[in-house]
Amino acid sequence: MSSDNENKPYIVINKKTIFTAALVMLVFAASFFAWNGNRSRKYDQTAFVMGTVFNVSLATNGEDPTPELINIGNELDKKVLSWRSESSEIAAINSSAGSVEGYELSEDMEALIVQCLKMSAQTDGAFDITVGALTKLWDIDGWASGENEADGAEFVPPSKEEIDEALNVCGYEKVKVEDHRIYLPYGMSLDLGAVGKGIYLDKCKDTFDNNVSGIVSAGGSILTCGKKPDGGKWNIGINDPFGTKDIYGSIEVDGEICVSTSGPYERFVTYEGVKYHHILDPHTGYPADTDLSSVTIVSQSGLISDALSTACFVLGEKGAYEIAEEYGAEIYTISNDGSEGGTITLRH
Ligand code: AMP
Ligand code: MG
d(CA 310, CA 195): 9
| Confidence at 12, pLDDT banded by 50, 70, 90 | low
The residues lining ligand 1, judged by C-beta closer than 6 Å to any ligand atom, are 127-129, 131, 135, 140, 191, 193-194, 220, 262, 266, 278-280, 282, 306, 309-310, 314
97 CA to centre of own chain: 26
Q: Which ligand has the minimum distance to the alpha carbon of residue 90?
A: 1
Q: Is the pLDDT of residue 289 over 50?
A: yes
Q: Is the pLDDT of residue 208 over 90?
A: yes
Q: Is the pLDDT of residue 91 over 60?
A: yes
- For residues 183-210, average pLDDT: 96
Rg (CA), the chain: 20
Least confident of 1-10, 147-156, 169-178, 270-279: 1-10
Question: Given ligand 1 and candidates 141, 191, 258, 303, which is best to mutate, with the most ligand atoms within 8 Å of its CB?
Answer: 191
- For residues 303-320, average pLDDT: 97
- For residues 70-94, average pLDDT: 93
N- to C-terminal Cα distance for the chain?
20
Mean pLDDT over all residues of the chain? 89
Question: Given ligand 1 and candidates 16, 117, 280, 305, which is best to mutate, with the most ligand atoms within 8 Å of its CB?
Answer: 280
Cβ atoms within 10 A of the Cβ of 154, count?
10
Contact 342, 321 (CB under 8 A): yes
Cβ atoms within 10 A of the Cβ of 34, count?
12
Ligand 1 geometric centre to CA of 194 (Å): 4
| Confidence at 150, pLDDT banded by 50, 70, 90 | low
Q: Is the pLDDT of residue 85 over 90?
A: no
Q: Is the pLDDT of residue 192 over 90?
A: yes
Least confident of 71-75, 90-94, 243-247: 243-247
Of the ranges 80-84, 155-159, 172-176, which is most confident? 172-176
Q: For residue 24, what pLDDT is reported?
A: 41
User: Which three-class secondary structure string do you get for 188-199?
Assistant: CCCCCCCCHHHH
Q: For residue 40, what pLDDT is reported?
A: 86
Closest C-alpha to ligand 1, atom 1: 194
Ligand 1 geometric centre to CA of 130 (Å): 10
Closest C-alpha to ligand 1, atom 18: 127
d(CA 50, CA 296): 21
Contact 127, 311 (CB under 8 A): yes
Give alpha helix (H) positions in 87-242. Answer: 89-95, 107-122, 132-138, 160-167, 196-207
Encode pLDDT of 291-307 as tens digits: 999 999 999 999 999 99
Q: Is the pLDDT of residue 39 over 90?
A: no
| Confidence at 2, pLDDT banded by 50, 70, 90 | very low
d(CA 311, CA 122): 10
Q: For residue 147, what pLDDT is reported?
A: 61
Q: What is the pTM of this model?
A: 0.89
| Confidence at 142, pLDDT banded by 50, 70, 90 | confident
Q: Is the pLDDT of residue 125 over 50?
A: yes
d(CA 23, CA 76): 25
Q: Residue 240 contacts by C-beta under 8 Å, 6 or more apart in sequence?
A: 246, 247, 248
- For residues 239-258, average pLDDT: 94
Q: Is the pLDDT of residue 1 over 60?
A: no
d(CA 124, CA 150): 31
- For residues 26-51, average pLDDT: 70
Cβ atoms within 10 A of the Cβ of 300, count?
14
Q: Are strands 181-183 and 176-178 parallel, antiparallel or unpaired?
A: antiparallel
Is 170 strand, coil or helix?
coil
d(CA 122, CA 323): 8
Q: Is the pLDDT of residue 31 over 50?
A: no
Cβ atoms within 10 A of the Cβ of 87, count?
10
